[in-house]
Structure 1
């Protein structure tokens, strides 16, 4: 993980505004959200795993599943996941539904970030800063 200090840290916005602003840039809400925190993820590369710019946030007023929730942005960072090649050795078979977990466990959930990705991540954060800090719709 590589932290990317940003002017966005500790700034507060309505979550729906952030979604509308960041989706066109290629961000999506990451799958690791809970009722009081979450993140926006931007997939940069998938070379021997996946590299993301992640902008985490925490709830300051409301809950994530309610309209109008206010969130505070935290320090962005670059995250790299390296996935296993071949079969997953931790497959769990569901005995009631005869289903199985098709997703592999990461070989290394905090893999080394390739050095050529770091400037790209910094530029993505700068683009988000420019968009959000100059926006008149800031909440």
Structure 2
């Protein structure tokens, strides 16, 4: 499921500031980066299954591995995890309304904080 028109898409922000904001909201970078891309995740374990809110970004300047990148954010996604296959984001997936609302609020809060750093 895509979260379009969050205001995050196209936002450019320093990697270190972004990571700080994301961590404050339970979004984890962990090992999900390479020298040009980052993915921040938040895991939700519900009775309906395991879901991941993901915010992707890519470096427009600098290097992620050197912690000196400017990251441009992309459209956030919500996906359902299926063991052992991975995460599915498709329109055929069921996403509980309460989860969708929680994710929308989380993304709005993140957007509100990024304004101070852009």
Q: How many residues are treated as equivalent by the alignment? A: 113
Secondary structure, aligned partner of 1:29: coil
**Judging changes above 3 Å, is the alpha-carbon distance between structure 1 residues 63 and 46 closer, same or farther for their aligned structure 2 residues?**
farther
Secondary structure, aligned partner of 1:65: helix
**Judging changes above 3 Å, is the alpha-carbon distance between structure 1 residues 72 and 3 closer, same or farther for their aligned structure 2 residues?**
same
Cα displacement (A) at 1:30: 5.2
- TM score, norm. by length of structure 1: 0.71
Greater RCO (CA < 8 Å, at least 6 residues apart): 2
* Structure 2 gaps, min length 5: none
Secondary structure, aligned partner of 1:3: coil
Q: 2:88 aligns with which of 110, 119, 122?
A: 110
Query: Which has the greater radius of gyration?
Result: 1
- Contact 1:79 1:113 (C-alpha < 8 Å) held by counterparts: no
**Judging changes above 3 Å, is the alpha-carbon distance between structure 1 residues 17 and 63 closer, same or farther for their aligned structure 2 residues?**
same
Corresponding position of 1:4: 3
Q: Take 1:33 and 1:21, find their aligned partners in 2: how far apart are those partners?
A: 17
Cα RMSD, aligned residues only? 1.9
Q: 1:123 aligns with which of 105, 113, 116?
A: 105
Instruction: Provide runs of 4+ in structure 1 moved above 3 Å.
Output: 46-49
- TM score, norm. by length of structure 2: 0.82
**Judging changes above 3 Å, is the alpha-carbon distance between structure 1 residues 66 and 127 closer, same or farther for their aligned structure 2 residues?**
same
1:68 aligns with 2:76: no
- Contact 2:32 2:40 (C-alpha < 8 Å) held by counterparts: no
* Structure 1 gaps, min length 5: 84-104
